[in-house]
């Protein structure tokens, strides 16, 4: 007959770890879902750091020089457009490659940073 032991100390120690792991899974799943992404709040300072690549083509001043300006946009529109490059709804190959490198968190940070620039800035940061 199998011995029936009371819950071992080992088991008791490990159960909360399993629960935490499950919670972490749930948390990491959500930013990937479109519904949750709209509520993502980006860090504009991180965005400024990431923007180094973007401003080799897009003017930080918001001027149009053949490449469309991306400053002063509402955060949601910015993230939406970047997602459209990621999923191919927008087909520009250059922007598709670039957008594909960024996570939701990074896109939110970029959106937060560019929203602080240009004519729409005051409205967007209110
Ligand atoms: C190599 C040059 C280049 C770089 C670098 C670049 N872009 Fe672009 N971007 C473009 C071009 C060209 C377009 C216009 C593409 C099109 O017609 O869809 C564009 C379009 C966009 C648009 C849509 C603008 C509109 O009016 O529809 C956004 C938003 C954007 N880029 C964001 C970014 C961000 C954020 C970065 C940095 C992570 C970045 N771009 C880096 C060249 C670049």
Tens digit of each residue's pLDDT (9 = 90 or more) over 106-120: 999 999 999 999 876
Per-residue pLDDT at 24 exceeds 70: no
Residue 40 banded pLDDT, cuts 50, 70, 90: confident
Count of Cβ atoms closer than 10 Å to residue 57 Cβ: 14
pLDDT at 35: 47
**Which domains occur in the chain, in start order?**
34-125 (1.10.760.10)
Backbone angles phi, psi at 64, to 5 degrees: -100, 120
Residue nearest to atom 24 of ligand 1 (CA): 68
Q: Does ligand 1 lie within 6 Å of residue 80's CB atom?
A: no
Tens digit of each residue's pLDDT (9 = 90 or more) over 56-84: 999 999 999 899 999 999 999 999 999 99
Alpha-carbon gap, residue 122 to 86, rounded angstroms: 28
> Ligand 1, closest atom to CA 73?
29
Three-state DSSP class for 32?
Answer: helix
> 122: CA distance to ligand 1 center in Å?
23
Structure-block tokens of residue 66: 């053949």
């Amino acid at each position: 007959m199998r011995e029936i032991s009371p819950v071992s100390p080992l088991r008791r120690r490990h159960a909360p770890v399993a629960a935490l792991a499950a919670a972490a899974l749930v948390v990491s799943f959500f930013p990937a879902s479109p519904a949750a992404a709209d509520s993502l709040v980006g860090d504009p300072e991180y965005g400024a750091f990431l923007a180094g690549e973007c401003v080799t083509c897009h003017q930080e001043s918001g001027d149009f020089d053949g490449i469309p300006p991306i400053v002063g946009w509402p955060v949601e529109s910015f993230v939406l457009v970047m997602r459209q490059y990621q999923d191919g709804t927008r087909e520009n190959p250059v922007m598709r490659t670039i957008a594909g490198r960024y996570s939701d968190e990074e896109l939110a940070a970029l959106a937060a940073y560019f929203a602080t620039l240009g004519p729409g800035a005051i409205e967007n940061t209110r």
